[in-house]
Structures are given as C-alpha cells and as structure tokens.
Amino acid sequence: MPESEWLPRELSGRKMVMIDAVALGDPEAGARSIAPLRALGPELDTFSEMPAADIAHLQLDPQEPTAVYANSVLVQGFPADAAEALVDAAGPGSGSELLFVELRQLGGALARPSPRAGAMDHLDGSFLVLGVGLDVGTGWDAVRADATRILDSLSPWTSSAVYLSMAYEAAARRGWSPAAYERLQRIRRAADPEGLFVPPQRGPDH
C-alpha cells in the first residue's frame, strides 16, 4: 500500500490481502454468507450495512484523478495451481511493485448469453484478474512489464477474450464475439466513414 493521505495510516506502506464482498438484500442472510470469511480472523473487519452508493468507496480508490497503468485478463477457471502461480508472481518475494492485483469473480448472469442483449451479452471467463500500478520512480515501462509478467503467469487458464474496459493493450476484436465485432465495424463504417471519431482502443485491427 502506498504512503498516501487517502489511505488509513495503519495500512500505508504494508502489503495486504483484502477480501471484498457485497450482498444485496436481507442483512441477516448477508451476515451468514460472510461468516466463513470472518472466521479467518482478519486483522481488520470493515463489513457493515451501507447505502448502495457507498459501495464505490469499498476499494479505497483515490477520489481525485490519478495516473495509473491497468491491464487485465479473463481466466476460464481458478484452480489451486492458478492461485499458486498468481501468488508466486505477485505475492511476497515476487519483487512486484504494483499497487494491487485483484481477482474479481464473474459467472452467474455475467456468463449467460442473451438473444435480447446488445453487442456484449456476456463475459467469457470465470474470473477477471486485474493488475494496477503507479510510477513509483521506476518509470511506466517497468510498471507495464511488472503487470505483464504477473498476468502472463496465468496463461494456462487465460481466455482468448478480454474485457476492454480493463484491458490497456488488446486488439479490439477480442472484446466481442466475431458476429458482434463485424456488426460494430459495419455500423462504424456507415456512421463515420472518414474516421473522424477516434476509437477508445487502437491497434492493427481497431
């Protein structure tokens, strides 16, 4: 954790493992769901009832714009071997200086294609693994290399698809199904034949 005024003092400068969970509905049911997590004996336990709008603050993100590098992969599963590979690449003794490496559980409704959906109707992965880094004096190339090394450690389980909103460097066509991508390209050619509007993701096949 960086030495920063927007972090609680007792966290600054330390390496931490954080578990976030959100349960929408009955508070007692939510408490039962997180009971196994509390049984692990965390150093800090900040689970509580809160308004939905406060969920955005759970991950201690800075409230002001901050320059970061971020990249991610979708993984099809997360067996014990994948967990060990990620800890070896990003955990104690790894040399990583990323701000955080996050594992986000997907599945459920996010995994179910829908014939009534738009261009993106599901995410092709069981989890999203996200690496985020700050330039702490080593330069952005070093941050990028660190994130790439960590995400590459999960290559045996990585999906060919990506979630473009959290993929810094990826061919845009990997963010959509082939049919959806071709449809988006046709719409773009019809609506913007001169290429006036710059696409958010550029690359050889943007």
* Residue 140: predicted pLDDT: 93
For residue 81, pLDDT over 50 is answered with yes
- Contact yes or no for 143/135 (Cβ under 8 A): yes
> CB neighbours (10 Å) of residue 158?
18
Confidence band, pLDDT 50/70/90 cuts, at residue 201: low
Identity (one letter) of the amino acid at 166? Answer: M
Buried b (16+ CB within 10 A) or exposed e, 25-46: eeeeebeeeeeeeeeeeeeeee
pLDDT tens per residue, range 123-181: 989 999 999 998 878 899 999 999 999 999 999 999 999 998 888 877 888 888 888 89
> What fold is seen in the domain 67-191?
Vanillyl-alcohol Oxidase; Chain A, domain 3 (3.40.462)
Q: Are 87 and 103 in contact (CB under 8 A)?
A: no
Confidence of residue 206 (pLDDT cuts 50, 70, 90): very low
Given a cut of 60, is residue 12 above it in pLDDT? yes
As a whole number, the mean pLDDT across the chain is: 87
**CA 37, 40, 43, 49: dihedral to nearest 10 degrees?**
20
Q: How confident is the model at residue 46 (pLDDT cuts 50, 70, 90)?
A: confident
Report the C-alpha gap between 37 and 21 in whole angstroms: 10
Using 50, 70 and 90 to split pLDDT, how confident is the model at 25?
confident
Judge whether residue 204 has pLDDT over 50: no
